[in-house]
Chains A and B, each alone.
Chain A
């Protein structure tokens, strides 16, 4: 490992909040991947004899109105949230990076056209756009990921374009031109690897945003459909019983809070670690 990455890790881990965020992100990841082995219950098994039980040694987060174990459903819900977060952000990063690279590298009318497209996309109130589109399609987790991704790439496109503009005039890019390197080679070997750091930050913060959006959609009943558990639809069910079964709302709510907070902490940690000048 080169000194560059070693320095990066040292700075990142010295930031206590970022390190804590990373730890939480890893814990969530492990929980969701190993969900079936972590809890003895089936997230969908209805048990009419154990309805709305408060948290106990057996049911850590209590049970819901159908007798399902809330801890199990929250852990399986993490699978959905992470999947949505990563796939949606993956789509946004790929689309945004390609558009930013093309706009910044070729400039001129191509740049103007693509940047006006960005401006137009930014004019839409994203959440209502998503609501409208989902209303026309069947609610499905795949549509949700795609729509969140396709409405979230503009920030990445602007970041990448700005990086490309500053990298394009650097001597190592000129050197590659003098050597006769093709445009594709210059873009992918010389510009892209140097433009990715801010994208990494933006993507990490974007995961948090995508998870929030998915939760909100599921809460409104147009996201992930029951019985598949998602933090948003557990909350929806919980709101009807909130007066006498607080655990139904509290735990999925906490899960959302902790997840979004930890991705934000990691994102900010990466940003600070990438830019040593900001550190005192």
Chain B
């Protein structure tokens, strides 16, 4: 089976302005060599703290910003080498859902226009067919076709996110990249939106890339999980493996940060200490060592590679994975 989307050694550098007007520009390594693959119909969750490069990865995978290194392939073809027509097809088959439902919809367009626009851009259907499709989409995401003539500000956050989902579904994509799709919503609304995403994913057999800082959300939606730290993937594997038997201390710390209702389960793992280091001056060796409870001298000098640990397909970038409780 050929993969839908694959990233190989993807890098992104930003130029950060130095202190003064004439200070040299510093280089900020937002994404420092990420390998990912996503198979058709599969959900890959990417998790990590704010600033770890998750959203940059999303923008790189959709070709919104140029790569500084590595390559992204869609159905085996390099994104950078796509012809105009192939690019148009990629733009049709890969859609995005955004974090902030208050900024992801054009405030000057009616919902009917927002939902019809993807089809207009790709020249799909007649006007009447598009109108039918828009009605169908509204129903599908749990909104009323009567609300089509309204403007985005007349909806609540959860409803706006439903509109964003409907827009992504309008052109029947094969892959949806959701960048923190529920982080801006109330907890009760989060569950509804996640259920909706799960339903449409199953109905349409979509590939899903789900980016979040909230591991408890990923537990429900992902087949596989990749954990990012300072622009690198530090652990990846099946959702169950990664969440039940983390092989990287950072994953363990993230899991410990999830509030639990079961007092026996609390404080089993070490809570994360300190703040994420500045990506302008990443630590030497293993980027996690200043915050790691297991760190030894070796971690300060040698950066661990992402290698398979005791289960097939479960990889972690840690010298001392065996120290973590199984």
Contact = CB atoms under 8 A, between A and B. Distances in A.
A190 interface: yes
Interface residues on B, range: 20 to 34
Scoring B62, B106, B118, B151 by chain A CB atoms within 10 A of each residue's CB, the highest score goes to B106
A179 B104 contact: no
A60 interface: no
A57 interface: no
Interface residues of A, number: 20
B104 A171 contact: yes
B91 A180 contact: yes
A190 B103 CA distance: 12
B108 A179 contact: no
Given A4-B151, A172-B106, A185-B121, A180 B98 contact: no
Interface string A167-198: 00011101111111110010001100110000
A171 B121 CA distance: 18
B117 A179 contact: yes
A2 B109 CA distance: 11
B153 interface: yes
B151 A2 contact: yes
B112 interface: no
Interface in A143-177: 170-172, 174-177
A194 B108 contact: yes
Contacts of A180: 87-88, 91-92, 121-122
A178 B91 contact: yes
A172 B151 contact: no
A3 interface: yes
Contacts of A3: 151, 153-154
A185 to B, nearest CB: 7
Interface in A3-34: 3-4
Contact of B103 (A171, A179, A182): A171
A2 B121 CA distance: 26
B64 A178 contact: yes
A174 B122 CA distance: 17
B150 interface: yes
B121 A177 contact: no
A99 B153 CA distance: 30
A189 to B, nearest CB: 8
Nearest to B98: A171
A179 B91 contact: yes
Contacts of A185: 121
Interface in B66-111: 87-88, 91-92, 94-96, 98-100, 103-109
Given A172-B105, A189-B106, 6 more contacts: A176-B106, A178-B62, A179-B121, A180-B87, A182-B121, A190-B106
6 contacts: A2-B151, A4-B151, A172-B107, A179-B91, A182-B121, A194-B106
